[in-house]
């Protein structure tokens, strides 16, 4: 297992609006996948 | 006509009330009993506590919502429950005395009882620390933080400690978020170099959050939540001390014990420590007036439901069905408990007892999302019972999702948040036969601006949903 560090490259990605817009979509898709299961309960 | 009574109007209670009112409100009697006449959006009290959000943006009045949904509202404090005679004894908030509220179905959704008394010297009223666990506390924390910053502006160097204030506390995520927001506020004010920040917690490891932590694959590497939080703390120059149970607080000093049994003390100028959470602590009486509380609730006052209690931790970790599915009391099947009020079968994180016999074990968290889901499940089942005589809904915490979004500043342009997505909250090694017992596509953690957008979106959508506004049913809990 490698020790994780927040590099300068990571910091730039964290504030890159296009990258973060994509991450926003992915996070919502993950939530929807879990919610879909929940709504069927 | 059925009488359905809910005690509590937090995430679980308010969600349940909307579903019940929508389905049954016109033909049946739905009543909510709550101490306050407002709903409080707890997750945003972190922002109130650092002055980033006005308190009134985190609340709304309950009565107008209930009027829309044909729900009766009794503002007061429930004291005792008569389980055979089927009524709740309530102390009314207007001072007019006690009233009996009869029920055919009862949902206890009271949230946490904040047990500051469990740690001498803890808390803003009779103690020396602050809290963000209620709105008045968060406002007080903000005011004290601002006073501290005035001292810092005059050149004073201070020590700020945030974490858990009891060996069995939970809600580490909220405390973590408060600490990262303090860091950001100090940075913005040019005061960060005047403060030493310390994370002090009962977690077995950094990044545990009471859910056993997580591991994800990122860019070909396995990263643990311990690595992730350590990286954030190193980036932000925040020190940390885990495996620690706070025993008492005196002015400027926190006394603790750790896993090794070492007793120590930490000085502070400002501290926000989460207290132990207890259950509602009602007294339950049977038809003969006997106190049967020990049959209805555990020692912490949490309501016993359809869980399997008494398993050792290793067995519990392999038994997903030990977690309740319908949140129904086994003896009194018309009594349910949702959100923080139900008694979990054990901790999610590995428990630990130190050589002095002190249990330093993070209690299982119940986030707003989870509480809302449980509220919905119980409401749908009560609707089923009223209409069809049988329940058709169930969901365990081994099937539920949780997102912990710890903001670091609230700006939607250059803010950030650490987002941890866990599915399921309680690992299920049978459904997910990997080392984590979790869905490895959904389970994730990351940091960035997207998290700040998510946090703000969730505040807005939850506030919209819980007021029963248009489309409320389509917004997930």
Domains of chain B: 3-114+277-388 (3.50.50.60)
The ranges assigned to domains in chain A are: 13-39
Among A31, A36, A39, A40, the residue to mutate for chain B (most B Cβ within 10 A): A31
pLDDT in tens, B330-346: 999 999 999 999 999 99
Q: What is the dihedral of CA B212, B135, B419, B197, to 10 degrees?
A: -80
Tell me the pLDDT band of A10, cut-offs 50, 70 and 90: confident
Mean pLDDT of chain B: 95
In sequence order, what DSSP letters do the residues of B309-373 get, joined into one string? Answer: -S--HHHHHT-GGGS-SS-B-SSSTTEEE-GGGB--SS-SSPP-B-TTS-B--PPPP--HHHHHH
Query: Which of B54-58, B386-390, B472-476 bottoms out in mean pLDDT, i.e. has the lowest?
Result: B472-476
Q: What is the pLDDT of residue B238?
A: 98
Conformational region of residue B394, where left means phi above 0, alpha means psi within -120 to 50, and beta covers everything else: beta
Q: Quick check: B219 pLDDT over 80?
A: no
Q: What average pLDDT score do residues B196-222 get?
A: 92
Query: Which of B252-256, B360-364, B403-407 bottoms out in mean pLDDT, i.e. has the lowest?
Result: B403-407
Question: Rounded to 5 degrees, what angle do the CA atoms B467, B468, B473 make?
Answer: 130
Cis amide leading into B168 (omega within 30): no
Question: Rounded to 5 degrees, what angle do the CA atoms B371, B225, A39 make?
Answer: 30
**Cβ <8 Å between A30 and B399:** no
Size of interface A-B (CB pairs under 8 A): 89
Q: Quick check: B384 pLDDT over 70?
A: yes
**Cβ <8 Å between B393 and A41:** yes
Q: Quick check: B379 pLDDT over 80?
A: yes
| Full-model pTM | 0.94
A40 touches chain B (CB under 8 A): no
Rounded CA gap, B384 and B326, in Å? 12
B466 touches chain A (CB under 8 A): no
Residue in B231, B401, B442 closest to A4 by CB: B231
Percentage of chain B lying above the pLDDT 90 cut: 91
Closest CA to B261 of B275, B244, B248, B249: B244
**Cβ <8 Å between B447 and A1:** no
Q: Quick check: A2 pLDDT over 70?
A: no
Q: What average pLDDT score do residues B121-133 get?
A: 96
Q: Are B273 and B307 in contact (CB under 8 A)?
A: no
B326 touches chain A (CB under 8 A): no
Closest CA to B137 of B42, B67, B205, B70: B42
Q: What is the pLDDT of residue B140?
A: 98
Which phi and psi (to 5°) does residue B451 adopt? -65, -40
Conformational region of residue B261, where left means phi above 0, alpha means psi within -120 to 50, and beta covers everything else: left
B453 touches chain A (CB under 8 A): yes
**Cβ <8 Å between A14 and B449:** yes
Query: Which of B151-155, B178-182, B214-218, B444-448 bottoms out in mean pLDDT, i.e. has the lowest?
Result: B214-218
Closest CA to B404 of B363, B360, B455, B448: B455
- All residues of chain B having their beta carbon less than 8 Å from the beta carbon of residue A23 are 446, 448, 450
Tell me the pLDDT band of B477, cut-offs 50, 70 and 90: confident
Partner residues linked to B246 by β-bridges: B256
Q: What is the pLDDT of residue A41?
A: 61
Q: What is the pLDDT of residue B221?
A: 82
Q: Which helix (H) or strand (E) holds B73?
A: strand B71-82
Tell me the pLDDT band of A39, cut-offs 50, 70 and 90: low
Partner residues linked to B255 by β-bridges: B248, B265
Q: Quick check: B22 pLDDT over 80?
A: yes
- All residues of chain B having their beta carbon less than 8 Å from the beta carbon of residue A33 are 441-442
Q: What is the pLDDT of residue A1?
A: 45
Distance from CA of B451 to the nearest CA of A (A): 7
Q: What is the pLDDT of residue B408?
A: 83
pLDDT in tens, B133-148: 999 999 999 999 999 9
A6 touches chain B (CB under 8 A): yes
pLDDT in tens, B45-93: 999 999 999 999 999 999 999 999 999 999 999 999 999 999 999 999 9
Distance from CA of B122 to the nearest CA of A (A): 35
Q: What average pLDDT score do residues B418-423 get?
A: 91
């Amino acid at each position: 297992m490698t020790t994780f560090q927040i590099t300068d490259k990571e910091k730039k990605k964290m504030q890159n609006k296009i990258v973060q817009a994509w991450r926003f979509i992915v996070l919502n898709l993950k939530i929807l996948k879990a919610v879909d299961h929940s709504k069927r309960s | 006509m059925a009488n359905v009574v809910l005690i509590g109007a937090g995430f679980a209670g308010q969600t349940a009330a909307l579903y019940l009112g929508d389905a049954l409100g016109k033909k049946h009697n739905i009543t909510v009993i709550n101490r306050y006449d407002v709903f409080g959006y707890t997750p945003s009290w972190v922002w109130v506590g650092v002055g980033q959000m006005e308190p009134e943006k985190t609340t709304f009045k309950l009565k107008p919502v209930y009027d829309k949904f044909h729900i009766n509202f009794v503002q007061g404090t429930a004291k005792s429950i008569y389980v055979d005679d089927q009524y709740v004894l309530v102390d009314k908030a207007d001072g007019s005395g006690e009233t009996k509220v009869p029920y055919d179905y009862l949902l206890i959704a009271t949230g946490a009882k904040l047990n500051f008394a469990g740690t001498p010297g803890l808390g803003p009223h009779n103690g020396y620390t602050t809290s963000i666990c209620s709105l008045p506390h968060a406002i007080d924390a903000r005011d004290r933080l601002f006073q501290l910053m005035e001292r810092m502006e005059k050149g004073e160097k201070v020590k700020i400690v945030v974490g858990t204030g009891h060996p069995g506390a939970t809600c580490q995520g909220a405390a973590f978020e408060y600490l990262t927001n303090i860091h950001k506020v100090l940075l913005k004010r040019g005061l960060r170099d005047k403060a030493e920040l310390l994370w002090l917690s009962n977690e077995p490891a950094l990044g545990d959050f009471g859910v056993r932590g997580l591991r994800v694959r990122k860019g070909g590497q396995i990263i643990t939540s311990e690595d992730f939080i350590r990286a954030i703390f190193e980036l932000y120059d925040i020190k940390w001390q885990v495996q620690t149970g706070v025993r008492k607080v005196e002015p400027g000093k926190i006394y603790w014990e750790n896993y090794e049994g070492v007793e120590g003390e930490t000085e502070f100028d400002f501290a926000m420590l989460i207290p132990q959470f207890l259950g509602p602590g009602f007294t339950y009486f049977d038809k003969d007036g006997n106190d049967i509380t020990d049959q209805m609730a555990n020692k912490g006052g949490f309501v016993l439901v359809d869980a399997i209690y008494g398993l050792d931790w290793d067995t519990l970790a392999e038994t997903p069905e030990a977690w309740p599915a319908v949140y129904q009391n086994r003896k009194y099947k018309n009594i349910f408990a949702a959100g923080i009020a139900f008694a979990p079968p054990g901790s999610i994180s590995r428990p630990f007892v130190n050589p002095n016999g002190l249990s330093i074990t993070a209690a299982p968290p119940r986030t707003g999302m989870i509480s809302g889901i449980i509220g919905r499940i119980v409401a749908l089942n009560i609707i089923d019972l009223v209409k069809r005589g049988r329940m058709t809904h169930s969901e365990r915490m081994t099937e539920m999702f949780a997102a912990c979004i710890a903001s670091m500043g609230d700006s939607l342009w250059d803010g950030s948040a650490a987002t941890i997505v866990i599915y399921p909250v309680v690992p299920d090694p049978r459904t997910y036969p990997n080392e984590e017992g979790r869905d490895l596509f959904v389970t994730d953690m990351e940091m960035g601006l997207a998290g700040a957008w998510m946090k703000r979106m969730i505040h807005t959508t939850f506030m919209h949903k819980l007021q029963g506004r248009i489309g409320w049913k389509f917004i997930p809990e």
